[in-house]
Amino acid sequence: MVTGVWPFPGTSSPELLVVAMRDSGPIAPSELRATGEVPEALDRIVLRCLEPARAARFASAGELAAALAAI
């Protein structure tokens, strides 16, 4: 939603799933928008939401909301 582009390259749901599970990770929002359009803090939040390891993601919606409110 930040960029209007999928965070993983692919054209179908199965392809996106394979890419998300095998590749090095999602494309950072700042790489998909013009320089300076996406704050570094928002980049970190979005990438943390897309972490494959559950323990690395936000523990709750409240924790995510607090991180977003901080920026």
pLDDT tens digits for 22-53?
766 788 899 888 788 899 999 999 999 988 88
Residue 23 is predicted with a pLDDT of: 66
Q: Which domain holds residue 19?
A: 13-70
Look at residue 33 and tell me if it is in a domain. yes
Look at residue 53 and tell me if it is in a domain. yes
Over residues 55-68, the pLDDT tens digits come to: 999 999 999 999 99
Q: What is the pTM of this model?
A: 0.78
Which ranges constitute the DSSP H helices of 1-71? 13-22, 29-32, 40-49, 61-70
Look at residue 4 and tell me if it is in a domain. no
With CA atoms as reference, report the closest residue to 6 among 37, 27, 34, 33.
27
Per the structure, how many domains does the chain have?
1
Residue 8 is predicted with a pLDDT of: 76
Look at residue 6 and tell me if it is in a domain. no
